[in-house]
Amino acid sequence: MSTIDSTISERVNTWLNGNYDEQTKSALRKLIDSNQPDELTDAFYKDLDFGTGGLRGIMGVGSNRVNKYTIGAATQGLSNYLKMQFPGEQIKVAIAFDNRNNATTFAKVVADVFSANGIQVYAFEHLRPTPELSFAIRQLRCHSGVMLTASHNPKEYSGYKAYWNDGGQIIAPHDKNIIAEVNKITSIDMINFVGNPKLINTIGAEMDDLFIDTVKSVSINPDAIKSQHDLKIVYSPIHGTGITIVPKALAAVGFTNVNLVEEQCVVDGNFPTVIYPNPEEKEAMTRALQLAAKIDADLVMATDPDADRVGIAVKDPAQNFILLNGNQTGVLLFHYVLEQWKVKGWIKGNDYIVKTIVTTYLLDKIAASKKVTCYNVLTGFKFIGALMTQLEGKSTFICGCEESYGYLVGDHVRDKDSVVACTMIAEMAAYYKSKGKTLYESLIDIYLEYGLFKEELISFTKSGKKGAEEIAAMMAAYRTNPPLSLGGQKVVMIRDYQNSIERNIITGETVAIDLPKSNVMQFVTDGDGIVSARPSGTEPKIKFYVSVNTSLSSAHDFTAKEKELDQLIAAMKSDLLK
């Protein structure tokens, strides 16, 4: 213990001598006996806190790990806060969980702690997608909700997403206030772990049916689905919750030829067929692509473990399947929805879409052309949901998007929803096929009209306490010594979202940024490029979002123009890391 910081040593001793179960203490002794000071430091150097995706971390013993005690403390803190916010009311919460290892155990801990505090609990009987939890909170008029998930993180991870009464993830000031309540819990003896079964209710298939009916109601062109009902669709849930509802939803809207990647339909928190259960990764999509090639499919879709995000693959002109990134899928989907709303006369002048500041600005151009307002919010779909709640009853929400494969069409939830995204993407494919076009060709058409936009996410993993310090130093350097040029393009605008200042380098003019403070730096070039630097809120990474664009006058020029943009992105990346 002499090789670790005294503060960390004190935390370790608290766990060894406190009222923790013997299994936990045994695991901790094993770490000590095996002489793993770095592991002990990472496990205890801080408490888990709420980021853009809530509470998320590696499972194991320690204050910086996900376990029954950190889960219990978070739930006790949330319980205390709910009682403060809704005095005299019978508080209700909903709970769901995905396929993560220990998910059912953690869900029971959450239900027990809530019910032990006199809170009425509505818990899904089996694993269900995150968007269905958001839907259930709104349907049951709950005050809060919890989703046990680590989204697309590796198998070692678990997590805890907290939701408010609008069905959206918790944002400021509630997030910080809840952490403050958690921090008041100085002993695990302050956590009420003994549940009250009389206050725990089960959510069954009736919620699935209601959710699917609502998703079905979002459809714009049911006739297109009817004419192309046998569209060949390949779908994979990547061992997660999507299997419980996506195939049913596709069938409900009318698709009759959905082909499942059977080996990835097995619910398994070890994710045996993939390295990372992330539809952004080509490796995770390999089996779906193999099945698609075998049956000559029209469309490939795969959802992440908690089924709030979806990745797709489409055929190029050579009939090869290519993966679209989150921006490309968002552009296709938004263009289809907005164009169809325009054709049907549904756009009334007070309609809007929402995207995050790191999502392609091609969406802003498309919205402007349809006379629809486009709002930009901070990274994290919780900010899209919060704006939807703020504008509810005043303006009409059409759709929301974040570049990390998250989409929402319709206002039935306050989070990204791969279930409605899958049905609408399939409908879009059916519609364009009925017009003799593929999704790939439709994307090129958009580029011809609005310009060719190319985005790339560049991320660097820096784990543990040392990694967190390195990321902090990088962000500080970007503020004190920002790049003057990127990829040969002069930086003309700097946006510092932490200090809420936008500064025009040419004129010296500054403008206040009217968004919550966030540790993001954004550099705009004279070539209309945008580079955003942002530490991840859910992973030990610093991320760079690079967006560049150029004109495209002919489909034949697409490959050459795309190569030019790839070279520009590479040059910008090089400048960022100097």
Cα gap 11→19, rounded to integer Å: 13
Chain centre to alpha carbon of residue 238: 16
Q: How many CB atoms lie within 10 A of CB 230?
A: 11
Cα gap 197→300, rounded to integer Å: 43
Cα gap 507→491, rounded to integer Å: 12
Mind listing the pLDDT tens digit of every residue in the chain (578 residues)? 447 788 898 999 999 999 999 999 999 999 889 888 888 989 998 887 765 456 889 999 999 999 999 999 999 999 999 999 999 999 999 999 999 999 999 999 999 999 999 999 999 999 999 999 999 999 999 999 999 999 888 999 999 999 999 999 998 889 888 888 888 988 899 999 999 999 999 999 999 999 999 999 999 999 999 999 999 999 999 999 999 999 999 999 999 999 999 999 999 999 999 999 999 999 999 999 999 999 999 999 999 999 999 999 999 999 999 999 999 999 999 999 999 999 999 999 999 999 999 999 999 999 999 999 999 999 989 999 999 999 999 999 999 999 999 999 999 999 999 999 999 999 999 999 999 999 999 999 999 999 999 999 998 888 777 888 899 999 999 999 999 999 999 999 999 999 999 999 999 999 999 999 999 999 999 999 999 999 986 677 899 999 999 999 999 999 999 999 999 999 999 998 87
Cβ neighbors of 358 (< 8 A, separation 6 or more) are: 379, 402, 403, 520, 532, 534, 545
pLDDT at 51: 55
Domain spans, the chain: 46-203, 210-450, 452-576
3-state secondary structure 408-472: EECCCCECCCHHHHHHHHHHHHHHHHHCCCCHHHHHHHHHHHHCEEEEEEEEEECCHHHHHHHHH
CATH superfamily, with its number, for domain 452-576: Alpha-D-phosphohexomutase, C-terminal domain (3.30.310.50)
pLDDT at 520: 97
Fold designation for 46-203:
Alpha-D-Glucose-1,6-Bisphosphate; Chain A, domain 3 (3.40.120)
Burial zone of 257 (CB within 10 Å; 0-12 exposed, 13-18 middle, 19+ buried): middle
In this chain, the answer to whether the domains covering 46-203 and 210-450 adopt an identical fold is yes
**What is the C-alpha end-to-end distance of the chain, expressed in Å?**
39
Fold designation for 210-450:
Alpha-D-Glucose-1,6-Bisphosphate; Chain A, domain 3 (3.40.120)
Residue type, 54: G
Closest among 260, 256, 254, 257 to 219, alpha carbons compared: 254
Question: Does residue 95 contact residue 107 with C-beta atoms inside 8 Å?
Answer: yes
Residue type, 319: Q
Cα gap 320→343, rounded to integer Å: 32
Question: Does residue 191 contact residue 69 with C-beta atoms inside 8 Å?
Answer: yes
CA distances from 523 to 239, 532, 535 (A): 39, 6, 15
In the block, tokens 């509630």 appear at 174
Cβ neighbors of 213 (< 8 A, separation 6 or more) are: 252
Cα gap 190→169, rounded to integer Å: 26
Cα gap 572→368, rounded to integer Å: 28
Structure tokens at 35: 């002489």
Question: Does residue 245 contact residue 212 with C-beta atoms inside 8 Å?
Answer: yes
Instruction: Output phi, psi for 499, to 5 deg.
Output: -100, 5
Closest among 246, 232, 354, 347 to 300, alpha carbons compared: 232
In the block, tokens 């993407």 appear at 425
pLDDT at 1: 45
* Catalytic residue ranges: 151
